[in-house]
Amino acid sequence: MIGESAMHIDSGEMDFPVDPSETVLVESEELKLSQERPQRWHDGTKLKHLQTLGVGNGTPAWGAINPSSVVVRKGGVILEEGRDYILDHEWGSVGLGPESESRVTSADTVTVDYSFSLLRIDSIIKTPDSRKLLKKGISNLTVPAPPFLETGESRVANVFVPYYSDGSNAEIFPVQETPDQAVTHTTPGRLPQTMTRIEADGPVRIVCWGDSVTAGGDASSPDKRYTAVFERKLKEKFPKADITVETVAVGGSNSRQWLRPDEDKRGKTGRGAECIWGNVVNAKPDLVTVEFVNDAGFSLEQLDTTYTEILSRIRSLGAEVIFITPHFTMMQMIGFKTMRDPECRPYVSTLRGFAERNSCALADASSRWAHLWKEGIPYITLLKNAINHPDDRGHEIFADELLKCFA
């Protein structure tokens, strides 16, 4: 339901009324509480309507829950937070309270009432007769899109309405530049072997190697993940070439787990058991693309030794490489104060420098994400799981930057 009051924003020329963010009420959702203590997106029982991939699917949306609205019942008895159950006030996950105090067990079914907020993007548009209007967007849990433009309309700015907004803290993102105006460190001209094969009409075998983003999370369908979009656009660009793109990726992995699985502290049950470098080798690639947002936590020393080894292994296969800088993740992860902050991760600057020193191709997705605010887009609205997985638009950015390497 939408609040009755509306606040105003100043576009620089006139004021526009901005409606508050929308609130969703859920009543009597049936759950069984986990024995795990709720912690971030990992542990505890997730409230179904708060999950980012649809009801009962995906991680919870950080910041969307109204913790004071949560009422948990067993039968007709209202349970007590801290005693009977524990609630994560930021992620909305719940779990059993202390075993000695809780009146609930993991076998019991409880009902939960709660409310949560949605995000929205409105747009200041210019009509064909040069009037300026505020067009309201459609609310979404994590990835609201700007409203559709009618023929003859143009977008002047987008207005981001955050969770629990009364309209007064809506943030204006003027449309200053187009995506084509983004200045990136992407490097055309560094794939001589691959381009020679393409110009000779193939065959060309490409392996997209990486983590959950390369595996496709959270694209809406397999054909929307960046590897599939990249393959499709590459074939459109070079229709006569025999191009094959294969995905070799494991969600949650980092590159060292592929190179040195025995170092994985979780042993045979950890990512190291799934990350088999031989799968890259067996694909017999002519070109390997490398995407690991999970490498952002490496020390500078680890980055140097790891990427030196990656390059050595790929070149030993007779293949070329494109290193991909990562997209932006949730602001808390990368230390951002605003959605306009510049890229500041040491991993990104190190990877750019490594590619330059070794004359390797680079697809600089990071710079495209850093440019989004100039395009009028709050970057967090391209994170489907509100953490680190891009939506379809975010996946397309990866594909577009990869394609530039083939100019």
169/338 Cα distance (integer angstroms): 13
Assess whether 216 and 276 both reside in one domain. yes
* 2 in a structural domain: no
310/316 Cα distance (integer angstroms): 10
Assess whether 221 and 190 both reside in one domain. yes
Q: Measuring CA to CA, how many Å separate 199 from each of 39, 140, 287, 289, 388?
A: 52, 45, 15, 20, 37
Q: Measuring CA to CA, how many Å separate 341 from each of 328, 345, 369?
A: 11, 11, 11
Angle at 404 between CA 302 and CA 186, to 5 degrees: 35
Tokens 């069984």 -> residue: 32
In this prediction, residue 2 carries a pLDDT of 34
54/143 Cα distance (integer angstroms): 12
In this prediction, residue 193 carries a pLDDT of 98
Assess whether 229 and 95 both reside in one domain. no
Q: Domain span at residue 105?
A: 23-117
Assess whether 307 and 352 both reside in one domain. yes
Binned average pLDDT, 10 residues per bin, the chain of 407 residues: 42 74 97 92 94 95 98 96 97 94 95 98 96 96 98 97 95 96 97 97 96 97 98 97 97 95 60 89 98 96 97 98 98 96 96 98 98 98 98 98 97
| pTM of this prediction exceeds 0.95 | no
Domain end position, chosen among 142, 174, 206: 174
Token pair for residue 66?
């109204």
* 1 in a structural domain: no
Give the number of C-alpha atoms closer than 13 A to the C-alpha of residue 292, restricted to the C-beta side.
27
* 228 in a structural domain: yes
Domain end position, chosen among 174, 204, 219: 174
* 187 in a structural domain: yes
- Closest C-alpha to 233, from 397, 357, 107: 397
Assess whether 216 and 328 both reside in one domain. yes
* 167 in a structural domain: yes
Tally of CB atoms within 10 A around 43: 16
Q: Decide: residue 359, CB within 10 A, 0-12 exposed, 13-18 middle, 19+ buried.
A: exposed
Q: Measuring CA to CA, how many Å separate 394 from each of 8, 186, 315?
A: 31, 17, 29
Assess whether 193 and 105 both reside in one domain. no
In this prediction, residue 268 carries a pLDDT of 46
Assess whether 169 and 238 both reside in one domain. no
Number of folded domains that form the chain: 3
Kindly give the pairing relationship between strand 77-78 and strand 71-74.
Answer: antiparallel
105/25 Cα distance (integer angstroms): 26
Provide the CATH number for the domain around residue 352.
3.40.50.1110
Q: Write out the H or E segment, with its range, that includes residue 243.
A: strand 243-249
If DSSP codes are grouped into helix, strand and coil, which group holds residue 150?
Answer: coil
